[in-house]
Amino acid sequence: MALVRVRNLTRVFDVSKPWLNRVIERRAKAYLTAVSDVDFDIAERSTYALVGESGSGKSTIGRMLVGLLRPTAGNVEIDGVDLANETDAAKVDLIRSDIQMIFQDPYASLNPRWRVRDIIVEPVAARGGNTDGLAARLLEQVGLSALDAGKFPHEFSGGQRQRICIARALASEPRLIVCDEPTSALDVSVQAQVLNLMSDLKDDFGLTYVFISHDLTVVRHMADRIGVLYLGRLVEEASPRDLFEAPKHPYTQMLLEAAPRMDGFGREVAPPEGEIPDPINPPTGCAFHPRCPIAQDICKHERPEMKQHGNARAACHFASLEP
Ligand SMILES: Nc1ncnc2c1ncn2[C@@H]1O[C@H](COP(=O)(O)OP(=O)(O)OP(=O)(O)O)[C@@H](O)[C@H]1O
């Protein structure tokens, strides 16, 4: 059985501006569908990458997976437990303690007034667990020194701070860690070290990762499956090998064409072509059609269903014509 089962996951935000409504004296409601009808499974001890441009819904899915945000529709099941199940709160609480999240900015996610020891053990202490020697042990597991436990976050570099965040995530012995762009705020030389550490920890602790990134090249060597998101919808899902060798969706192809064009510092030189549409008024039919080089009339009117292509899935009317 899959550890994570996501079905029809949807999140709509109310983005109405009450102040504007007061000025123009009418009540106009505006809604933004950040995530729409997303389905995927994640096998235990595997890494599932979610990729897509800014605003494609990656973080919103991540936040729903850890229970920080409620879905508008659809559901997230972890080990068979539906996170939205209100009739069995004890079961949901227990499964939530199996899930942790690591954020992009290790500066913002550590309390500057707390010593590292207290930061790391906090999730365990909050549940009344045993914290003896825990911080020292975890610091060494993430490549820092037990002597660092008494220091404050400002005494560390960005990469070291992300290691502290990883140690804190590991403290409650999670099964699933959602990593939201965990290395994109770090220098390129440090990125690889943190990614290697995360790979090692995955094996040592038997972890399952959801790895969120806008950068396909980062996830290529980490992921067992890659889900590509466009404007809140999953448009393709495949193994890294299938995705890189035979991408089915024109959007994936566009991302891949942009990916190698990095400068020496890992910055994207040329973003994928065309503007990302307004998510409040998304295009009809296939939302990618205004940017798609192979779009036909049908793409403007009919949203393509997700279809199986060998071991991959893609939502494109013409995906089957691709090699
Ligand atoms: N709390 C919110 N209220 C209103 N709109 C939101 C909220 N959170 C996210 N959004 C919108 O939902 C869409 C998806 O955002 P999300 O942050 O999930 O995308 P993302 O792929 O993670 O992007 P990025 O890489 O920039 O973080 C965006 O259009 C964003 O502006």
Render pLDDT for 188-202 as a digit per residue (tens, 0 to 9).
889 999 999 999 999
Closest among 150, 146, 152 to 133, alpha carbons compared: 146
Contacts for 59 with CB less than 8 Å, ≥ 6 apart = 180, 212
Using the mean position of ligand 1's atoms as its centre, give its distance from the Cα of residue 188 in Å: 25
C-beta 59 within 6 A of ligand 1: yes
Q: Which domain holds residue 188?
A: 4-98+174-321
pLDDT tens for each residue of 85-108: 778 888 888 888 899 999 988 788
The protein residue whose alpha carbon is closest to atom 26 in ligand 1 is 54
Q: What is the mean pLDDT of the chain?
A: 89
Residue 100 φ/ψ, nearest 5 degrees? -130, 165
Contact status, residue 268 vs residue 262, Cβ threshold 8 Å: yes
Q: How confident is the model at residue 26 (pLDDT cuts 50, 70, 90)?
A: low
Would residue 129 count as lying in a domain?
no
Would residue 105 count as lying in a domain?
no
Contact status, residue 284 vs residue 218, Cβ threshold 8 Å: no
C-beta 106 within 6 A of ligand 1: no
The protein residue whose alpha carbon is closest to atom 4 in ligand 1 is 13
C-beta 197 within 6 A of ligand 1: no
pLDDT tens for each residue of 160-183: 999 999 999 999 999 999 999 999
Would residue 122 count as lying in a domain?
no
Would residue 162 count as lying in a domain?
no
Using the mean position of ligand 1's atoms as its centre, give its distance from the Cα of residue 222 in Å: 24
Would residue 135 count as lying in a domain?
no
Q: What is the mean pLDDT of residues 3-21?
A: 87
91-100, 127-136, 290-299: range with lowest mean pLDDT: 91-100
Tally of domains in the chain: 1
Would residue 114 count as lying in a domain?
no
Q: How confident is the model at residue 320 (pLDDT cuts 50, 70, 90)?
A: low
CATH label of the domain that carries residue 12: 3.40.50.300
Q: How confident is the model at residue 266 (pLDDT cuts 50, 70, 90)?
A: very low
Alpha carbon of 320 to those of 47, 260, 282, 304: distances in Å? 27, 25, 25, 12
Would residue 111 count as lying in a domain?
no
C-beta 13 within 6 A of ligand 1: yes
One DSSP character per residue, 129-160 reads ---TTHHHHHHHHTT--GGGGGS-GGGS-HHH
Contact status, residue 195 vs residue 159, Cβ threshold 8 Å: no
Q: How confident is the model at residue 221 (pLDDT cuts 50, 70, 90)?
A: confident
Would residue 157 count as lying in a domain?
no
- DSSP 8-state symbol, 319: G
